[in-house]
Chain A
Amino acid sequence: MGQLNLNRIQKFYGTYEVLKGIDLEVKNGEFVVFVGPSGCGKSTLLRMIAGLDETSSGDILIEGKRVNDLPPVKRGIAMVFQSYALYPHMTVFENIAFPLRVEKMAEEKLKAKVEHAARILHLDQRLQQKPGMLSGGQRQRVAIGRAIVREPKIFLFDEPLSNLDAALRADMRIELAKLHRQLQATMIYVTHDQVEAMTMADRIVVLNAGQIAQTGAPLELYHKPANTFVAGFIGNPKMNFLPVRCKGVSDAGVEVDYKGQTAVIPVAPQGGLVGRTLTLGVRPEHITLGPGDLTLKVTPTVIERLGAHTVAYAAIGGEGENFCAMLPGTAAIRPEVTIQTGIQVADCHLFDEAGIALERHVELTDIDMGVLDPAAA
């Protein structure tokens, strides 16, 4: 039994089903990130865990106790809002002290706690200022300060960094990761920024249209996406999908045919695939110049030079879909000049007609020891 358990959580707004039965277990001290496209129900799920929205059905358990009918404080959670939700008429000190004032904590103890929180968040110089005088990052830290003084069992963050500029976001990301290590608390973090998800999470929960598409460690999602949705959502630029035909199945993998070229993709074999149309997935960063196990001739239409990489976009096939390749920064390519690109079978993903992945022969433990057991990391 984890610290937080969600059992078949559903949420309806009228007849519209926003969350379609969520099951999840979060362990003590874990940093779990919910990602998903806009409108998939991340905030709704978080607000239900917080106790701000009612669950339509299903149970929320914290440390084994059903908390569906308890108010937020009794659940032992604290929440940092998508907007900062600071009290504009109070000083930073009073903002951070607010939950303690509600508890009617003795002045001395309160002061010590607020100052401790302010020191962790580098706000000690700002305690007497009002939120209106602070920068975005400082305001966000005040909001976090208000959450940590109460020493909750579980922290909930709803896109806390979404309105900060890129540099500040990177700083805050690092500070949040530090804070997590320092406090050893369970954190649940909502974002639609996959860099935040990949860098901070022990475990990522990918939501799609009210359902969990996959749960796993960041690298697990990257290397073994369970379906085309996760494959396309994790990783930037997005994974390329090519339609292929299954020619045969053996122990070594599945033999596929792409426009006359054949290759054996090392995935777990399944019966009944022969003759079917499958989807071959390959990430832009795994495409190389020159021939490979599969070779594609493409004509880039747009080339983005980012310094470290060169990203080339080309239309392939009749589908008009963009094929994207991430090549070295100095790649000698030009728009409208046809090039040869290669794909290695070891880098390929294969999905069946329903978009479900055939398991790849990749040992995740070779990539990252901690990947399969986040608690041990």
Chain B
Amino acid sequence: MSQPAMINRYRWHELVAIYCGIFVFLAFILAPFVEGFLVSLKPLGLLFSSPYKFWPENGSFAAYKSMWVSVPGFARYIFNSFFISSIVTVIVLVLVVPAAYAFARFKFRGSGALLAAFLAVNMFSGAVLLIPLFRLMRSLGVLNTYFAMIVPGVAFLIPSAIWLLRTYMMRIPRELDEAAFVDGASHFYTLRRVILPIAMPGITVVAITTFIGSYAQQFIFALTFNSKTEYMPLPIGLYAYFGRQEVIWNELMAASFVGIAPAVILIFLMQRYLVAGLTAGAVKQ
């Protein structure tokens, strides 16, 4: 076994402290997931048995089948969520990549003020502006459409995406742009052939955070701007498991896991663009 480098060596009590810390935080993050998953395996009748049993007896995946029956439109909700988030992500990327490039590279009047304004917008969550947004959409006549859930989503995700990507692009050496310019490339050619490929990890991070952000904010937009069942996204769809008398907890948990599965898979696939060290060899270090 090779020894780790001197700077990475710890004493035993340091190691214990590090692992204890990791364990505490992981416990808080993972416990709800574990509990949720275990609940999804239990028959409904056993959920409220006392004494409460953490570990499911005669647990089964029955809830994962019955959930589709109790809420027939559930597949549609998953699709809606996925669809809205994908469209939001695509629109944000299309707008943010050139914008971030401009903010990173060009000096123009008001760029500082604009960036500050973006940060300020970030401080208002969409929730504060729900009423004005509602009135705006009503007068535009776009309530109860996908549009009503996509456009505000895009608007509120753009500022942080620009900040993220701008920071990343500023780390790409400016000489690369200048070299391309000397070789006759236009700004768009440089962006497409030089900057985009190098900024791919940054763009992936922006895509993932935007996608997740869009998932998270759908609930409030859907609740306010949409009343059509067929356009409802996943978070609203989950409410369908809240019956009049009782909540079908095990199916609700099963549905939650199934509902986020496509997003998890997508993010997992995008991960391979998150490679570091893409600028190796570009300039003298």
A: which residues have CB within 8 A of B?
50-52, 71-73, 77-79, 81-89, 98-99, 101-103, 130-134, 136, 139, 146, 150, 163
Contacts and interface: CB of A to CB of B under 8 A. Distances in A.
Contact of B284 (A51, A73, A84, A146): A84
A73 B175 contact: no
A88 B183 contact: no
B182 A87 contact: no
Contacts of B185: 98, 102
B123 interface: no
A99 B189 CA distance: 11
A86 B279 CA distance: 9
Contact of B182 (A72, A86, A88, A89): A72
26 contacts: A71-B184, A72-B181, A78-B183, A81-B175, A81-B178, A81-B179, A82-B175, A83-B175, A83-B284, A85-B175, A85-B179, A85-B282, A88-B198, A88-B280, A98-B193, A99-B184, A101-B193, A102-B189, A103-B184, A130-B281, A131-B281, A131-B282, A133-B281, A134-B281, A136-B284, A163-B284
Given A85-B173, A87-B176, A89-B198, A52 B282 contact: no
A51 B179 CA distance: 11
A84 B175 CA distance: 8
Nearest to A158: B175
A79 B183 CA distance: 9
A83 B282 CA distance: 8
A58 B183 CA distance: 25
A84 B282 contact: yes
B116 interface: no
B278 interface: yes
Given A83-B173, A85-B178, A85-B179, A73 B280 contact: no
**Residue of B176, B178, B183, B189 contacting most chain A CB atoms (<10 Å):** B183
Contacts of B281: 84, 86, 88, 130-134, 139
A66 B259 CA distance: 66
A102 B180 CA distance: 9
A51 B180 CA distance: 13
Nearest to B197: A89
B183 A73 contact: yes
7 pairs of A and B residues whose beta carbons are closest in the complex: A131-B281, A132-B280, A83-B283, A132-B281, A73-B184, A85-B175, A99-B183
A101 B194 CA distance: 13
